[in-house]
């Protein structure tokens, strides 16, 4: 495993692999790797000749007063995880390398970036789309692996790839959960043990909603789920929405499939989760 800290060097290495006919897999991360990230890495190692894991805490996707400075940075542990799981390259660029002071170009996916999480984090997805597009250009990735926990991010990246004709294929990967049902997230480390117990209600509510969806109108399903989430102690709901699986638009009442997506604060920690529901 090699650690590369320079974008131009990473691009040269990736281009050589491309010329050699190697298929390249990319797992974009912000570090603080957990079992969810490992599941993405395992898929790339299985599918691709070369696996690149990027570790970059992207400042342009954090808004004012968000947790950029305190975001966990266990670099030594992250590198051990990558090495143990047969990663070929860990790409760890500096902020100045990715976003020098004269950087002026950003990628926006209109409409999709302005709903759900975008209402509460208005510049977030612009930052995500921009850094992911840069990573695709640097890595020459044939495939890039994204977890489905951030369903909105996944749909935005898929749309960006289609609209801008990127060669990279997006591979959606299932949400990895703790035994309790809580979706794995680097931000779970912010939760106290008591808050973690409270947060379990989020995934429990989603699971119950998916059962109700089979025989109840979606507005009733949404209302019942909302009432359950409101009962979580020390919590605040940003949103709870049932949306179309393809474009995040409001689902029709006759839909046979939909996603229920939520963003809930437990204490000072913002958690997102979702579930795909079928009739």
Among the listed residues 11, 92, 12, 7, the one whose alpha carbon sits nearest the alpha carbon of residue 53: 92
- What are 33's two structure tokens? 């790797």
Task: Give the three-class secondary structure for 154.
Answer: helix
Say if residue 8 is exposed, middle or buried (CB neighbours under 10 Å; 0-12, 13-18, 19+).
exposed
Catalytic, out of 17, 34, 37, 103 = 37
- What are 42's two structure tokens? 């395992």
37 is catalytic: yes
Q: Give DSSP secondary structure letters for 10-55.
A: HHHHHHHHHHTT--EEEEEE-S---HHHHHHHHHHHHH-SEEEEEE
Query: Tokens 């480390």 — which residue?
Result: 189
- How far is 91 from 230, CA to CA, in rounded Å? 41
Alpha helix stretches (DSSP H) within the chain: 7-19, 35-47, 75-84, 95-98, 117-120, 124-139, 151-163, 193-212, 218-230
Sequence-distant (6+) residues with CB within 8 A of 131 are 28, 56, 58, 60, 61, 98
> Residues with catalytic annotation?
37
């Amino acid at each position: 495993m090699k650690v590369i800290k320079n974008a131009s060097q990473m691009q040269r290495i990736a281009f050589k692999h491309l010329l050699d006919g190697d298929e390249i897999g990319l797992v974009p991360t912000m570090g603080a790797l957990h079992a969810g990230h490992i599941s993405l890495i395992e898929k790339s190692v299985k599918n691709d000749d070369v696996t690149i894991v990027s570790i970059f805490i992207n400042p342009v996707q954090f808004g004012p007063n968000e947790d950029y400075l305190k975001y966990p940075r266990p670099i030594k542990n992250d590198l051990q995880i990558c090495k143990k799981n047969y990663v070929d390259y860990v790409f760890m660029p500096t902020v100045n390398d990715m976003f020098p002071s004269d950087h002026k170009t950003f990628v926006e996916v209109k409409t999709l970036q302005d709903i759900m999480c975008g209402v509460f984090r208005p510049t977030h997805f612009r930052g995500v789309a921009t850094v992911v597009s840069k990573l695709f250009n640097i890595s020459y990735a044939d495939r890039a692996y994204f977890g489905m926990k951030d369903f909105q991010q996944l749909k935005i990246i898929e749309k960006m790839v289609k609209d801008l004709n990127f060669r990279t294929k997006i591979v959606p990967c299932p949400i990895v959960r703790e035994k309790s049902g809580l979706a794995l997230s680097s931000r779970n480390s912010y939760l106290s043990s008591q808050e973690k117990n409270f947060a379990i209600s989020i995934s429990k509510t989603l699971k119950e909603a998916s059962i109700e969806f089979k025989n109840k109108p979606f507005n009733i399903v949404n209302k019942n789920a909302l009432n359950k989430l409101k009962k979580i102690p020390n919590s605040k709901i940003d949103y709870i929405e049932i949306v179309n699986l393809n474009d995040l638009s409001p689902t029709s009442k006759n839909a046979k499939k939909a996603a229920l997506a939520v963003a809930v604060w437990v204490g000072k920690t913002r958690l997102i989760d979702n579930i795909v529901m079928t009739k």
